[in-house]
Amino acid sequence: MNHEVSCPLHAVVPRPMSVRPRPETLVLDADTTIAGEEDTVRWFRETVGGATGLPLRETGDGDITFRITPGEIHGPESYRMSITPEGVSVRAHDPAGAHYAAQTLRQLLGAGAWRESVVRTGPWPLPCGELEDRPRFSWRGCHLDLARHFLPKREVLRFVELLAAHKLNVLHLHLTDDQGWRIEVPGLPRLTEVGAWRSGSQLGAGPTAEYLARPHGGYYTSEDLIEIVSYAAEHHITVVPEVDVPGHCQAAIASYPGLGTAPHRRLDVWTGWGVSEHVLNAEESTVDFFRRVFDHVVSVFPSPVVCVGGDEVPATEWENDRRCRERSRELGLSEPAALHGWFLRRMAEHLRDRGRRALGWDEILDAGQELPPGGIVASWRGEEGGKRAVASGHDTIMCPEQEVYLDHRQADHPGEPVPVGYLRTLEDVHAYDPVPPDMPSGSAHRVLGTQAQLWTEHLDSASRVDYAAFPRLCALAEVAWLTASARNFAEFHRRLATYHLPRLEALGVEFRPLDGPHPWQTRPGVPGKPR
């Protein structure tokens, strides 16, 4: 048994801030008992007990204890753990901290503790030591695009488990776009009867991309989404929903043509990738339509933050449509393009009136209207949007495409499937720091954190999502938890290869091997578009 406690602990879950190893070993066996914080105890017994076969009977004072002591452990999501030959004692600031401590124990038990059922019997040793752990950022997220390619509910629930295993705490669900509408809205049935389905899909990227004439679609009922939200909450993950307006709306306009700038035109749900020129009109009836949509969204998602999108909004249709030009003048706007900011502000104010904060992509800073107080900017076109947001008194999430878009290619390997976007290796992701060096120290608190992005134009299955996400999402999780000075790529790579990839294998994650894709993970003949 290796007694170097920091070694088996994969830092993404993460590496302790202070570790004091001991030479002894604690052995968990059929007589080991557990006690303390109810939800953590239940999760540990069901998940780890189910994998190890340990009964883990509950008692008043167990061999493994999880206690919530906010006065003793300072900082949300933090915990202190002591492992001695006599047992495990966890003190946590809150239930989230207790859950992360339980995840750490699961790590220390090895890959066998990550399976769905027992594959070996006998005692389970734990290295002894003491550690303290707390996250650097409060927003440690991953964005998952369900509009381009729909994932069945079971795969979303599985993805929640994977985020929790890496101590990520935000799942940003992209639910609507030109290529699909994935959320049921009572009283607006065509959004899913029409908008959730398309006749085919673009295959690949670039000028030689092809067309796959295979219908695709799906949507989540309100009950599905409530289940996802509830399951995520059990894992201390907040689900942030996104309904994109006023661009990326072709699926909605295909469902209800009156939402568009040419109400008598019949559009199909888009089968291509990119930016559709079809945008919402600025009629009050369209504003009311999306107020109704967002009212349903906030009834399903308790998240204090709701994303309104706001990215990639071409003004061509507004500029060419007589009624939109007149409407912009009626509203006192300088030009039709300013309808972009006007529409977003109406949605953000509506969400504020419902007690929620609006999150938008960084184009909202260029849309001609100030964000209402409490608005959050997702800085994706680089870091400048985040710095501008902070300078204007707004919070930001740092998620630049040059750094943390995990659908972008991982190598220039000839077998890299559908190679698009920037080359971002595992080491590149691990080296990223969400707080730019030129940001004033007094403003750094407005960087709430970071999130990886998984856009699914070229990720058409759960296997492809696994391949794009892992192991780079492991590196991003370390970035979100640890300061740059506490990270070391060589150490991370060693821990990843030695300890954590076997855990992912036990979970059935189809990750990209460190030395390149398996032959069955390649996509021969499907063109990409590297940048």
For the annotated catalytic residues, the residue numbers are: 177, 248, 312
Token digits for 323?
A: 């009624």
- How far is residue 489 CA from its own chain's centroid? 23
Apex CA 137: angle with CA 132 and CA 141, to 5°? 115
Cβ neighbours for 122, distance < 8 A, ≥ 6 positions apart: none
Pairing mode, strands 170-174 and 139-145: parallel
Task: Tell me the CA end-to-end span of the chain in Å, nearest whole number.
Answer: 46
Task: Give the length of the chain.
Answer: 531
- Rg of the chain (C-alpha set): 24
Helix then strand count (H, E) for the chain reads: 17, 23
CA–CA separation, 406 and 413 (whole Å): 16
Distance of CA 231 to the CA centre of its chain: 15
Among the listed residues 384, 381, 378, 337, the one whose alpha carbon sits nearest the alpha carbon of residue 357: 378
Coil, strand, or helix at residue 81? Answer: strand
Assess whether the previous peptide bond of 304 is cis (omega < 30° from 0): no
Render 315-383 in DSSP notation, one character per residue: -HHHHH-HHHHHHHHHTT-SSGGGHHHHHHHHHHHHHHHTT-EEEEEGGGGGSSSPPPTT-EEEE-SSS
Scan for tokens 């690949």, then name that residue. 204
Torsion sign over Cα 453, 459, 465, 471: negative
**Measuring CA to CA, which residue among 351, 348, 343, 355 is closest to residue 371?**
348
Question: Using an 8 Å Cβ cutoff, are 420 and 529 in contact?
Answer: yes
Say whether 72 sits in a helix, a strand or coil. Answer: coil
